[in-house]
A and B are shown apart, each in its own frame.
Chain A
């Protein structure tokens, strides 16, 4: 990618108000899902039916922006047609692209709708150029969303070996495990996030005040217990505190929110095509605020690359939006390859 082509900003929408907020705040793309298990944020009261999606597409297209539909869970034999119907609806309603993880579904989309733009979902877990180029050759994918486990050096290597556009996560919630390769929630709840579209499904979550503190449980499994001044987080298995060898701590990883704003110039230099913000489950107000800051940052970088600095007010506002949780550069902070 030439350095004078600005990085595209891809923003989340769990509903029509969030989509409109993202467009108004400067998103180049908005990603959205249908109201069922064909997408990886299958939570109550989220997502789009045909009417709201059509309205969202109209709103975005009138303003020169694009909408990509995430159909990024894994169908099985008994429900296969729900996923192919979702692909057909995306095409019929005029979505600008679809984000797909399942290889069989990618093949369906490629054969049935050769002109439909295909993005490989992060849930497809393509961690290097051999896999990305394979999906490109087989199905003509235009873009791949890369897992949050890669370092900058690894991203640069991938970029140098593939014609496929690279999209990376820039801000928001961070999976501790590799996306699409985790059965922890499924093991606790009995339903697989890959197939059912929900990690820590809301119906399995319970909160209880106890003499020992506020407890969060997932399908009965104790995930965490909070002291009076501690910030309680939505319970996911990977971010819980467990007793191990006599100590109680975050046995997998300290929970943290991803914030890579300071890496924007590096992303541009190595040829990252788009930055994605996590948070389809977040409010329209949140989406608007995060989108606006990233829009300003990307525009500032495009105007004067050599003078790009993360503004203190961007930093402060993003820290506040991360709800007091620690922020991290994730794997991008790793010096080693």
Chain B
């Protein structure tokens, strides 16, 4: 069983983000998910910063996955999405259906928890498009996950959200975009 750290939902100052990930180099984590998943108007950490963090963590022996934004809205969001999906180096965690056609064909992409995947038929379809790991939505009960995995496509890994605050909702309002973390 492997241990992964999901993407950061908090809006921290840049230096805190850099220090946080630098501190993970010697941790027992196998994989680290990186990138802006909430809103591009949070400009503290640039795409280049994320790539630098990714390079350091890879050098420390971690598997690095670049996560896409949980909701895509503007052309600016799509531009970033195309950069992430076309990075050509790191695996991608897809968190919105706009990213599915862009990630399809990339090496072993991850179907993230913000995609609504609840059944084997949808999971099978994503596998045919190249997904090799599935993180079920956080609201899935054990039976839902087990049912979807009963006829698991070959080579598909499952990764469960196990600890931490739950991202429960996505909203855009009053110019704020948020993953509400209430739990």
Instruction: Point out the residues of chain B lying under 8 angstroms from A107, CB to CB.
Output: 121, 125
Q: How far is the CA of A149 from the CA of B120 in the complex (A)?
A: 30
Chain B residues touching A, range: 35 or more
Among the listed B114, B121, B150, B174, which residue makes an inter-chain contact with A105, where contact means beta carbons less than 8 Å apart? B121
Name the prevailing secondary structure of the B interface residues.
mixed
Complex alpha-carbon distance, A178 and B180, angstroms: 12
Contact, CB under 8 Å: A126 / B182? no
B73 touches A181 (CB 8 A): no
Minimum Cβ distance to chain B for residue A192 (Å): 5
B53 nearest CB across to chain A (Å): 26
Q: Do A192 and B139 have beta carbons less than 8 Å apart?
A: yes
Interface size of A by CB at 8 A reads 48
A55 at the interface (CB under 8 A from B): no
Q: Is there contact, CB below 8 Å, between B75 and A130?
A: no
Is A74 a contact partner of B100 (Cβ separation < 8 A)? no
- CA A159 – CA B102 in complex, angstroms? 20
Q: From residue A335, how far is it (CB to closest CB) to chain B in Å?
A: 10
In contact, B116 and A194 (Cβ under 8 angstroms): yes
Within 8 A of A (CB), among B94-140: 96-102, 114, 116, 118-125, 137-139
Q: Is the CB of A104 within 8 A of B125?
A: yes
A102-B138 contact given A182-B169, A331-B172, CB 8 Å threshold: no
Q: Find out whether the CB atom of B166 lies under 8 angstroms from the CB atom of A195.
A: no
Asked if A26 is at the interface (CB within 8 A of a chain B CB), the reply is no
Q: Interface 1/0s, chain A 185-217, versus B by CB < 8 A?
A: 011000010110000000000000000000000
* Nearest-Cβ distance from residue B62 to partner chain A, whole angstroms: 29
B43 is an interface residue with CB less than 8 A from chain A: no
- Chain B residues with Cβ below 8 Å from A182 are 168-171
Q: How far is the CB of A163 from chain B (nearest CB, A)?
A: 15
Q: What string of 1s and 0s marks CB contacts (under 8 Å) between B151-178 and chain A?
A: 0000000000000001011111111000
Residues facing B in A53-85 (CB within 8 A) are 74-78, 80
Report A-chain residues with C-beta under 8 Å of the C-beta of B138: 183
Q: A74, A78, A176, A177: which contacts B116 (Cβ < 8 A)?
A: A74
Partner-binding segment picked from B13-21, B31-39, B141-149: B141-149
> Which of B97, B114, B137 has the most CB atoms of chain A within a 10 A radius of its CB?
B97
CB distance from B106 to the nearest CB of A (A): 15
Nearest B residue (CB) for A336: B175
Question: B70, B74, B97: which contacts A131 (Cβ < 8 A)?
Answer: B97
Is B84 interfacial (CB-CB < 8 Å)? Answer: no
Shortest C-beta distance, B164 to chain A (Å), equals 14
Which chain B residue has the least Cβ–Cβ distance from A179?
B170
Q: B169–A78 contact, CB under 8 A?
A: no
Tell me if B71 counts as interface (CB < 8 A to partner A): yes
The answer to the question of B60 belonging to the interface, with a C-beta cut-off of 8 Å to chain A, is no
Contacts of B166 in A (CB 8 A): 183, 187
* Candidates B114, B124, B143, B148; contact of A181 at CB < 8 Å: B114
Establish whether residues A337 and B139, one from each chain, have CB atoms under 8 Å apart when the complex forms.
no
B54 within 8 Å of A (CB atoms): no
A126, A135, A183 interface centre (most CB from chain B within 10 Å): A183
Contact A102 B171 (CB under 8 A): no
Query: Hey, which chain B residues are within 8 Å of A105, CB to CB?
Result: 121
A131 B98 Cβ-Cβ under 8 A = yes
Interface presence of A252 (CB below 8 A): yes
Q: Is the CB of B148 within 8 A of A76?
A: yes
A135 to B100, CA, bound (A): 10
Provide the residues of chain A in CB contact with B97, threshold 8 Å: 103, 124-126, 130-131, 134-135
| Contact residue among A80, A127, A133, A137 (Cβ-Cβ distance under 8 Å from B121) | A80
16 further contact pairs, Cβ within 8 A, besides A182-B169, A184-B168: A101-B116, A104-B120, A124-B97, A124-B116, A125-B116, A130-B78, A149-B71, A181-B71, A181-B116, A182-B170, A183-B169, A186-B139, A194-B118, A331-B172, A331-B173, A337-B74
**Can you report 11 residue pairs joining A to B where beta carbons are below 8 Å apart?**
A75-B119, A76-B143, A103-B97, A108-B121, A125-B116, A131-B72, A176-B171, A187-B183, A194-B137, A238-B171, A331-B173
Query: Which residues does A use to contact B, with CB under 8 Å?
Result: 74-78, 80, 101-105, 107-108, 124-128, 130-131, 133-135, 137, 149-150, 154, 157, 176-178, 180-184, 186-187, 192, 194-195, 238, 252-253, 331, 334, 336-337
- Which B positions have Cβ atoms within 8 angstroms of A? 70-78, 81, 96-102, 114, 116, 118-125, 137-139, 143-144, 147-148, 150, 166, 168-175, 180, 182-183
Enumerate the 6 nearest inter-chain pairs by beta-carbon distance, A residue then B residue, closest first. Answer: A77-B147, A104-B121, A104-B122, A131-B97, A130-B98, A182-B169
